Structure 1
Amino acid sequence: MVKSKEWNWSVVTDSSWNEPSGDVYYYVNRWKKKNLNSFLDLGCGLGRHSILFAENGFDTYSIDLSQYGIEVLDNKASELGLDIKTTVGDIHNLPFDANMFDCLLAYHTISHTDTRGIKIIISEINRVLKTNGEFFATLCSKHGSAFTNKPYPRIDENTILRTEEPELNVPHFYTDLDGVRNLFKDFELIKIRHIEDIFNDTSSWHYFIHGIKRE
């Protein structure tokens, strides 16, 4: 398995990384209505979604490999008077008890591994979610030009290494629809979306996956 590598958040200047994604507001509302309270932000980055969930009353836990990102989140939480329990750690080996969380977000994070690593990460998601707990996760799609057209170094048939900051040497795992269904075969999948985002004429495709852990 390829070694985990964190984002270099210290060089990120795009303010969008401080704003929650529009998709995530739906899950804040859905999970509040379902009384799913214990929440894990898996690969929280600078904490944009952790802040959102904590402000909405969730018992919020956050983990990221980046010490810098966690320090930024800790400072934000302190300024806002929010209780967010943060951890610097690797999402391949979560330091949490089994069946601990009602809901889990993994937004543009679990793709940062290789073919072997993604299976480990998803097994960890399964382990820490309670029965009937829900997750919302994204995965990189092989439809994207970064996988199909750009000469990035290959780790395996599904994985490239990025060669620019802030993702220098960060692995990216890519999949197709059958791969998504196979990886999450132990969950009930509620919805899978395949979406193209375009930023400054650059196309990026991802799968957006909503599932539930069942018995």
Structure 2
Amino acid sequence: MRGLDFGCGSGRQSILMAEFGIEAYGVDISQRAIEISEQMAGYFDKKVNFSVYNGKNLEFPDGFFDFTACLGGVLNCIPKSELENIAKELQRITKTYICVSYIQEKIDKNGDTPNIGIEHFDCDIEKLFNKFKLIDKSLFQITENGLTTTSELLIFKNFLEK
């Protein structure tokens, strides 16, 4: 089984995939994040294929991954104008499952929405991943240091896989 951690950051999910015997790949737009990911994988003695994302195309063949994970609000960090292309690319390279989490809202202890640089809370993620079918959707909240984050976890499946 082959999995992609898109927007891997420090590589935690990628390393976890490798721990479970999955052929793991992690991509991130930050060269520094990839360097940290490689150090972390070495520390845990795990083989993970890390690479820097060029911001345009994912350099993998069609259907290369059995599943893709895009977690931790990665989609919120991508300019709205680029989300459609990212979704197309992830669907192109993923054979069966795509799992994404998306930050819907952040509220501070006063009930205000702080300006923290996260855009497009109103974006319809389900429409972006329209080549796959939504099979599960969950909301969850985390409160830390007086800031409550509401996120959505969506799992999509490609029923047209060959």
User: Where on the TM-score scale, by shorter chain, does this alignment land: which range?
Assistant: 0.7 to 0.9
Q: Once structures 1 and 2 are overlaid, which stretch shifts more, 197-206 or 181-190? A: 181-190
The code of the aligned residue for 1:122 comes to: A
Corresponding position: 1:210 with 2:155: yes
For residue 41 of structure 1, what is the aligned residue in structure 2?
A: 5
Q: What's the Cα RMSD here?
A: 2.0
The one of 78, 83, 92 aligned to 1:127: 92
For residue 80 of structure 1, what is the aligned residue in structure 2?
A: 44
Task: Compute the displacement of 1:92 (Å).
Answer: 4.2
The one of 50, 65, 86 aligned to 1:101: 65
Corresponding position: 1:173 with 2:120: yes
How do 1:2-151 residues align onto structure 2 when only pairs under 5 Å count? 37-90=1-54, 92-108=56-72, 109-130=74-95, 133-141=96-104, 143-145=105-107, 149-150=113-114
Counterpart CA distance in 1 for 2:7 and 2:151 is 17
TM-score between both structures, scaled by the size of structure 2: 0.86
The code of the aligned residue for 1:139 comes to: Y
Deviation by residue 1:1-50 (Cα, 9 ceiling, x = unmatched):
xxxxxxxxxxxxxxxxxxxxxxxxxxxxxxxxxxxx10001010001111
Counterpart CA distance in 2 for 1:56 and 1:173 is 34
Structure richer in helix, relative to its length? 1
Task: Compute the displacement of 1:180 (Å).
Answer: 3.0
Question: In percent, how many aligned pairs have the same letter?
Answer: 23
CA contact (8 A) 1:54 1:83 kept: yes
Q: State the SS of the aligned residue for 2:62.
A: coil
CA contact (8 A) 1:194 1:207 kept: yes
CA contact (8 A) 1:64 1:91 kept: no
TM-score between both structures, scaled by the size of structure 1: 0.66
Task: Compute the displacement of 1:89 (Å).
Answer: 1.3
- Give the number of equivalent residue pairs: 156
CA 1:92–1:193 in 2, change beyond 3 Å: closer, same or farther?
farther
For residue 144 of structure 2, what is the aligned residue in structure 1?
A: 199
CA contact (8 A) 1:139 1:175 kept: no
